[in-house]
Amino acid sequence: MTKIKKILPLPMLIFLAVALIVCFPLPLLTSWLHVSTVHRIISLFLIVDPLLVIVSAVVIKRAHFAKWWLLAFPAIFALSVWWRFAKYNYWLVGMYLLLAIIIYVVTPQPNAQA
C-alpha cells in the first residue's frame, strides 16, 4: 500500500478522478441532454478542459510532482476521443499538452522559506 501511495499521491488521485469524469461521463451527459455540438465543444473542450489543464499544471509545479504527470490529462482525453468523439478532436490533445507545458514553465516555484 505504501508503494501505491508513493506512486499515486492523493492530489493526483483526485486529479485523475476529475479528469476521467470530465473526459468520459460529462460529454455523454451533455449529449444525452441534447446540448448542441457547438455548445458542447465550446463549453467542454474550450473552457472546462483547458481550465483543468491549467489547474493541474500549477498543482504539479507547486507540489513538486514528476513532470510526466503533465501527460496525464492529454492522454486521458486522447482515449476519450478515440472511444467516442470525432477524430478531428485529436488536435485538442496537442493544444492541451502545449498549454500544460506553458503553464508549468511560467508558474513560479513556491518559496521553501514560507
In a domain, 6, yes or no: no
User: pLDDT tens for residues 12-67?
Assistant: 788 888 888 888 888 888 889 999 988 988 888 889 999 999 999 998 898 888 89
Residue 85 lies in a domain: yes
In a domain, 97, yes or no: yes
Nearest to 78 by CA among 90, 96, 88, 70: 90
Number of domains making up the chain: 1
Whether 12 is in a domain gets the answer no
- What residue numbers bound the domain in which 75 lies? 18-106
pLDDT in tens, 60-78: 898 888 899 999 999 999 9
Query: Contact, 41 vs 92, CB < 8 A?
Result: no
